[in-house]
């Protein structure tokens, strides 16, 4: 049984918490480059792992991430001036560089030693793979670079990266991302010509090229540990002597890769970056190693969500408008009545509340991967408390893997049968 104490450990991410300290051992995706588009552009408020911060790009293009509040009188540095290689508080003029050094104190005597005695908390940032990353952990354990997932290795024209706000704890998002059993139900389309037939007789696959998702709605799950997390094989019947395998990757600490619709189509992944205990940045990445991608071709099922154009990255479909659920569409054409796979997932995950009480769940056979996720993160968090470091964070190249969807003979092991498809050269 998953206890309330386990739930606290899994979901609380602030400084000093077991999960918060574990996540601080990894580079974390936090911003899109469009949020800090040019040198000396306006600073950006950032909340990450319950810490209130401010990000800026200085005159030389360097990225900085500082405590949001000035060391002098705790003024919010979001209101500061980004100028001449530093962020200046507009109250008394204290100015900080990207490393947190005080480089100017115009309201203090020129000979004041205070300038050399005071620093503000600062964290490393880097831009890689179309995302801006931050590292909030022990500098002695700082990984050399972010995890080298394939979407960051392909050229900019071969990937499409978006970001949205989700009003839940990060773990709820990850658990949805590795839950292959719901795909056949929540995301299914319905045949309007069979409106008077039972639900199961009306189901159509969410992806027309993968009928197995509708034909077998109760897959059997296999979870195997890897150097970077674990791989999940969801097995469905595909004929007398074949299985369809939907192979999902879970990559520590909160990345998922979902099986593509076709062997040569674009791949899809998510990152679930904790803002605080109750909110998450969801990064969605589509990429194609063979050809350039654009939003229209890469996202026919609307996994990438449209967001409000006000800098909040809040989806246009959200809790306040019930995700524009259309009951007539739900009755006749779709399981959910909500447009787009991304927002169908978000609606149900947010409906659980910001932190689900996992001690009240009744888990079933389809929840094998979710159990593995919880055990893996709790083991790593508690191990770190006892001095055992998460070594996978120091080996970014181990993340060079893919998800896959493949039909195999029943006597073929799914990892062996899909080994070529899942390997990034």
Do 86 and 212 share a domain, yes or no? no
In this prediction, residue 110 carries a pLDDT of 84
In this prediction, residue 1 carries a pLDDT of 80
Do 120 and 156 share a domain, yes or no? no
- Is residue 207 predicted with pLDDT exceeding 70? no
Q: Are 189 and 271 in contact (CB under 8 A)?
A: no
Domain boundary among 102, 134, 166: 134
Q: Return d(Cα 86, Cα 35) in angstroms, integer.
A: 18
Q: Using 50, 70 and 90 to split pLDDT, how confident is the model at 261?
A: low
Q: Residues 117-128: pLDDT tens digits?
A: 999 999 999 999
Q: Using 50, 70 and 90 to split pLDDT, how confident is the model at 171?
A: very high
Q: Residues 398-418: pLDDT tens digits?
A: 999 999 988 999 999 999 999
Burial class (CB within 10 angstroms; exposed 0-12, middle 13-18, buried 19+) of 226 = middle
Do 205 and 340 share a domain, yes or no? yes
Do 326 and 200 share a domain, yes or no? yes
In this prediction, residue 299 carries a pLDDT of 75
Question: What are the two backbone dihedrals, phi and then psi, of residue 249, each rounded to the nearest 5 degrees?
Answer: -105, 135
Q: What is the mean pLDDT of the chain?
A: 93
In this prediction, residue 209 carries a pLDDT of 59
CB atoms within 10 A of CB 93: 16
Do 74 and 183 share a domain, yes or no? no
Which strands, in side-by-side order, build the sheet including 86-88? 81-83, 86-88, 95-96, 102-104
Using the structure block, give the residue that is written with the tokens 């149900």: 348
CB atoms within 10 A of CB 367: 18
- Is residue 166 predicted with pLDDT exceeding 70? yes
Q: Return d(Cα 425, Cα 397) in angstroms, integer.
A: 11
**CA proximity to 101, closest of 112, 114, 111:** 114
Is the pTM above the cut of 0.85?
yes
User: Which residues face 245 on adjacent strands?
Assistant: 235, 406
Domain boundary among 86, 110, 134: 134
Q: Would residue 144 count as lying in a domain?
A: no
Do 112 and 185 share a domain, yes or no? no
**CA angle at 301 for the pair 297 and 303, rounded to the nearest 5°:** 95
- Is residue 277 predicted with pLDDT exceeding 80? yes
Q: Are 47 and 312 in contact (CB under 8 A)?
A: no
> In the chain, how many domains are there?
2
Total length of the chain: 425
In this prediction, residue 217 carries a pLDDT of 80
Do 214 and 329 share a domain, yes or no? yes
Domain of residue 315, CATH code: 3.90.380
Q: Would residue 140 count as lying in a domain?
A: no
Q: Would residue 317 count as lying in a domain?
A: yes
User: How do strand 122-123 and strand 102-104 relate by DSSP bridges?
Assistant: unpaired
Q: Would residue 358 count as lying in a domain?
A: yes
Domain boundary among 76, 99, 134: 134
Tokens linked to 123: 């964290």
Q: Using 50, 70 and 90 to split pLDDT, how confident is the model at 290?
A: confident
Q: Would residue 139 count as lying in a domain?
A: no
Do 128 and 199 share a domain, yes or no? no
Do 130 and 154 share a domain, yes or no? no
Q: Return d(Cα 285, Cα 162) in angstroms, integer.
A: 7
Q: Are 277 and 169 in contact (CB under 8 A)?
A: yes
Percentage of the chain exceeding pLDDT 70: 97
In this prediction, residue 138 carries a pLDDT of 96
- CB hemisphere CA count around 324 (13 angstroms): 7
In this prediction, residue 215 carries a pLDDT of 76
Do 374 and 234 share a domain, yes or no? yes
Do 324 and 207 share a domain, yes or no? yes
Task: Mention every residue, 6+ apart, whose C-beta is less than 8 A from residue 284.
Answer: 161, 162, 163, 164, 268, 269, 270, 303, 304, 305, 342
Q: Would residue 166 count as lying in a domain?
A: yes
| Alpha-carbon dihedral sign for residues 315, 316, 322, 328 | negative
Q: Would residue 102 count as lying in a domain?
A: yes
Q: Would residue 348 count as lying in a domain?
A: yes
Q: Are 273 and 29 in contact (CB under 8 A)?
A: yes
In this prediction, residue 65 carries a pLDDT of 98
Distance from CA of residue 44 to its chain's centroid?
A: 20
Q: Residues 332-345: pLDDT tens digits?
A: 999 999 999 999 99
In this prediction, residue 202 carries a pLDDT of 86
Do 401 and 324 share a domain, yes or no? yes
Percentage of the chain exceeding pLDDT 90: 79
Which of helix, strand or coil describes residue 149?
coil
Does the bond joining 253 to the residue before it have cis omega, within 30 degrees of 0? yes
Q: Using 50, 70 and 90 to split pLDDT, how confident is the model at 47?
A: very high
Does 22 or 207 have the greater pLDDT score?
Answer: 22
Q: Return d(Cα 4, Cα 73) in angstroms, integer.
A: 39
| Residue-number span of the structural domain to which 113 is assigned | 28-134
Q: Using 50, 70 and 90 to split pLDDT, how confident is the model at 13?
A: very high
Domain of residue 107, CATH code: 2.102.10.10
Q: Residues 101-157: pLDDT tens digits?
A: 999 999 998 888 888 899 999 999 999 999 999 999 999 999 999 999 999 999 999
């Amino acid at each position: 049984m998953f206890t309330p104490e386990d739930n606290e450990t899994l979901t609380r991410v602030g400084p000093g918490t077991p999960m918060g300290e574990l996540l601080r051992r990894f580079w974390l995706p936090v911003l899109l480059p469009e949020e800090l588009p040019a040198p000396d552009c306006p600073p950006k408020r950032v909340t990450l792992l319950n810490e209130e911060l401010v990000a800026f790009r200085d005159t030389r293009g360097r990225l900085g991430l500082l405590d949001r509040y000035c060391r002098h009188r705790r003024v919010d540095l979001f209101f500061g001036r980004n100028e001449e290689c530093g962020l200046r508080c507009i109250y008394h003029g204290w100015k900080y560089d990207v490393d947190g050094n005080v480089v100017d104190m115009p309201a203090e005597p020129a000979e004041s030693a205070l300038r050399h005695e005071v620093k503000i908390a600062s964290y490393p940032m880097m831009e890689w793979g179309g995302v801006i990353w931050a590292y909030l952990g022990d500098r002695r354990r700082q990984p050399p670079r972010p995890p080298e997932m394939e979407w960051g290795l392909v050229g900019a024209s071969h990937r499409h990266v978006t970001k949205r706000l989700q009003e839940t704890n990060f773990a709820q998002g990850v658990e949805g991302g590795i839950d292959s059993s719901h795909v056949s139900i929540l995301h299914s389309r319905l045949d309007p010509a069979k409106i008077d037939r039972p639900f199961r007789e009306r189901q159509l696959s969410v992806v027309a090229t993968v009928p197995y998702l509708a034909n077998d709605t109760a897959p059997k799950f296999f979870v195997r540990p890897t150097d970077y997390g674990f791989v999940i094989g969801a097995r469905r019947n595909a004929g007398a002597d074949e299985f369809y395998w939907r192979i999902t990757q879970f990559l520590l600490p909160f990345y998922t890769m979902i099986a593509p619709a076709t062997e040569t189509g674009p791949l899809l992944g998510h990152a679930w970056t904790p803002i605080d205990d109750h909110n998450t940045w969801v990064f969605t990445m589509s990429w194609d190693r063979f050809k350039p991608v654009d939003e229209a071709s890469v996202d026919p099922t609307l996994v990438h969500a449209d967001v409000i154009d006000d800098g909040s990255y809040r989806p246009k479909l959200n809790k306040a408008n019930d995700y524009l659920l259309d009951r007539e569409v739900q009755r006749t054409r779709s399981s959910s009545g909500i447009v787009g796979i991304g927002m169908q997932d978000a609606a149900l995950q947010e409906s659980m509340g910001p932190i689900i009480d996992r001690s009240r769940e009744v888990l079933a056979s389809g929840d094998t991967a979710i159990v593995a996720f919880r055990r893996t993160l709790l083991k790593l968090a508690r191990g770190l408390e006892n001095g055992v470091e998460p070594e996978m964070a120091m080996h970014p190249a181990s993340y060079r893997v893919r998800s896959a969807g493949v039909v195999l003979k029943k006597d073929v092991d799914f990892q062996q049968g899909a080994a070529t498809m899942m390997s990034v050269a």
